[in-house]
Structure 1
Amino acid sequence: MFTITHAKINIGLVIPYKREDGLHEIRSVFVPIDFGDPMEIQIQSLPKESESRFLFRSENHLLGYRHSLFEAVSERGELSRNILTKTFTQLKNHFLEPLEVRIHLQKFLPPEGGIGGGSSNAGVFLRHLFPFTNLNPEEQIHFAKSIGADVPFFLQTSPCFVSGIGDILEPISVAKGYGILAIPPFGLSTGSMYAGLQKSLQKPYGSEVWKSLAEDLIRSLHVGDWAYLQNRLENEFEKIAFQTQPLLKELKLGFFESGADFASLSGSGSCLYGIYKTEEKRNEALPNVSHRFPEMEFRTFSF
């Protein structure tokens, strides 16, 4: 079966506090986009006395330092460190029968980009494997969360208001959007970004913006009023990212100067995107930003 493991963007991201378990509470809107990793999955039953097995093959399309990052966890490196291998190894004890699972992955989603690359691979992989297991829906969510905080989101395909550590999902309606994604030649590690926030242990505080999303924000997402959302749904990691990599601040300004109605860092990674009113405006802007920031890789997307 052929599928695409889609990336996501964050429209707004707030981290209210650090939880007692050491993880961070988040509030965000996750939106899947049509840029992703093509993946072919073949699942075959084996004789009852057999041992389940996982066969992995990949093509590495990443650029720069990210190419070597993926090589290190591919079948040409140490495959046991690959998130799909880890997922299979932990899930096989729940199979109803022995299985042979073959994966052919074409890797385009950048690590340390904040767009859910590895989590997307794992979530879509689980979506195809869960029907062959003894796990009920609640147990499936719990298992996905054990693989990674963002993995539960990639079990489904709709935009969501996300809270908890990324595991509490409320589907919402988001208008059609057209964007440009910038992939810088550098990454931002999740650990260092969260450490930079220096959030203390505290109880949740009320926020009119994020309390199930205020009505005007829900309306703006539903009709695609991106200009209204700018400065209302912000990514809290930007203040750290812009200090660490000032080029990202210039890039965000560049998106606005090219006609974007909304621009933001995605997640805690280095990818930054702009959203435009129409596909035509998006396409007109692409040569502008590409010329201004030649060190970046740019991808158009829609949702």
Structure 2
Amino acid sequence: MKLYSRAKINLFLDIVGQDPLDGYHYIDSLFQEITLCDVIDMNKASEDIVEFEPDSELNKNSTVHKALKLFKERFGIKTCYSIKVKKNIPIGSGLGGGSSNAATVLRFLAKEYRVPFDDLLEIAKNIGSDVPFFLYGGLCRVSGKGELVRKLSHKLKNVYFLIICPDIFISTKEAYSLIKDKNSVLTFPDLENISLITIDFLKKIVYNKFQKIIFNNFSSLGILYENLKKHLKAEIIFMSGSGSSLVAVYDNRLKRMKDFLYLKRQKCFKVFMAKPFYSVS
């Protein structure tokens, strides 16, 4: 069975506090699922096998291993699976690839064994902070430590993305350790009186608390950001998650295509075209 494990971007990301007991941070964020995806081939097998293409350390210990193990233990499943993940979403890019992989496997297993969504959600919370979001997908407000997810009915209108991924790995743990101010002074965007989110509205709300801090600590990423602002025709450019991916936002496919071809000629980083994704289910 071929499954599509899609990435996410953070249109708004604030750090609003920290749990004094476990040290995990509280966030308030607007997540958008996008069409950039890994492809997972999952089939029954004589033993559990998880493989990644290209080959990496993920073959030994990954969110996919954990999702399969926890699901089988929770529901007493004896059937084994061969899982092959073709990675297109760069690792350590702030696009949630690992969390998406885990959620995609969980959704497949839940359908196979008719497991209620709430039970699936409990497993997801024990794998990673972004995994619950990927069980919902689309556009969601995500808060708490990532476990509080509210799916929104809003849609992005005439919005197109370029996802620029330099060869810079930023661990989520390291990024959070750089945050010194744990208190928020911002308010989550007011979406009450709109149904369609336009470029003009995005210009008002796009925010990432990590961005300035990461640019200060990873100067090459900050320099790339400034160069992209000078040379691209994008309406907005921002960092997703804790980095290192940068998102360029367009209201016009032609402008995006011209910039895509320009960036491909640079051959300095990976670049993908993407758009918002909304599940039909």
Q: TM-score range, shorter-chain basis?
A: 0.7 to 0.9
Q: Whole-Å Cα distance in 2 between the matches of residues 111 and 138 of structure 1?
A: 28
Task: Note the 1:144-223 alignment, pairs <5 A.
Answer: 144-172=124-152, 173-176=154-157, 177-200=159-182, 207=186, 209-210=187-188, 213-215=189-191, 219=194, 222-223=196-197
Structure-1 residue corresponding to 2:48: 54
Q: Whole-Å Cα distance in 2 between the matches of residues 174 and 26 of structure 1?
A: 22
Count, aligned residues: 272
Structure-2 residue corresponding to 1:26: 27
User: Residues 190, 147 of structure 1: CA spacing in aligned structure 2 closer, same or farther, 3 A cutoff?
Assistant: same
- 1:112 and 2:92 matched: yes
* CA displacement 1:6-48 (0-9 Å, x = unmatched): 011110210011123311111111111111111111247xxxx
Structure-2 residue corresponding to 1:14: 14
CA RMSD in angstroms comes to 2.4
TM-score using structure 1 length: 0.81
User: Residues 29, 92 of structure 1: CA spacing in aligned structure 2 closer, same or farther, 3 A cutoff?
Assistant: same
Q: Whole-Å Cα distance in 2 between the matches of residues 180 and 100 of structure 1?
A: 38
User: Residues 215, 302 of structure 1: CA spacing in aligned structure 2 closer, same or farther, 3 A cutoff?
Assistant: closer
Deviates more, 1:264-273 or 1:127-136: 127-136
Letter in 2 for 1:2: K
Verify the 8 A CA contact 2:52 2:87 in the aligned structure 1.
yes
Q: Whole-Å Cα distance in 2 between the matches of residues 215 and 33 of structure 1?
A: 20
1:101 to 63, 77, 81: 81
Structure-2 residue corresponding to 1:279: 253
Percentage of pairs with the same residue: 27
What's the offset of the Cα at 1:87?
1.9
Verify the 8 A CA contact 1:8 1:116 in the aligned structure 2.
yes
Verify the 8 A CA contact 1:96 1:134 in the aligned structure 2.
no
Q: Whole-Å Cα distance in 2 between the matches of residues 128 and 33 of structure 1?
A: 19
Q: Whole-Å Cα distance in 2 between the matches of residues 144 and 22 of structure 1?
A: 19
Structure-1 residue corresponding to 2:279: none
- 1:90 and 2:61 matched: no
Letter in 1 for 2:18: K
Q: Whole-Å Cα distance in 2 between the matches of residues 300 and 281 of structure 1?
A: 12
Residue ranges of structure 1 left out of the alignment (5+ in a row): 45-51, 61-69
User: Residues 261, 284 of structure 1: CA spacing in aligned structure 2 closer, same or farther, 3 A cutoff?
Assistant: same
What's the offset of the Cα at 1:154?
1.1
- 1:138 and 2:112 matched: no
Structure-2 residue corresponding to 1:47: none
* CA displacement 1:147-192 (0-9 Å, x = unmatched): 0000011113311111111121122212142111111111111111
Q: Whole-Å Cα distance in 2 between the matches of residues 112 and 31 of structure 1?
A: 18
Q: What secondary structure sits across from 2:255 in the alignment?
A: helix
Verify the 8 A CA contact 1:114 1:271 in the aligned structure 2.
yes
What's the offset of the Cα at 1:124?
0.4
Verify the 8 A CA contact 1:16 1:25 in the aligned structure 2.
yes
Letter in 2 for 1:279: R
Higher alpha-carbon Rg: 1
Verify the 8 A CA contact 2:52 2:86 in the aligned structure 1.
yes
Q: Whole-Å Cα distance in 2 between the matches of residues 14 and 151 of structure 1?
A: 18
Q: What secondary structure sits across from 1:103 in the alignment?
A: strand
Q: Whole-Å Cα distance in 2 between the matches of residues 235 and 299 of structure 1?
A: 21
Letter in 2 for 1:55: I
Q: What secondary structure sits across from 1:170 in the alignment?
A: strand
- 1:122 and 2:102 matched: yes
Q: Whole-Å Cα distance in 2 between the matches of residues 232 and 132 of structure 1?
A: 40
Higher strand content, 1 or 2: 2
Q: Whole-Å Cα distance in 2 between the matches of residues 233 and 272 of structure 1?
A: 13
Q: Whole-Å Cα distance in 2 between the matches of residues 99 and 34 of structure 1?
A: 31
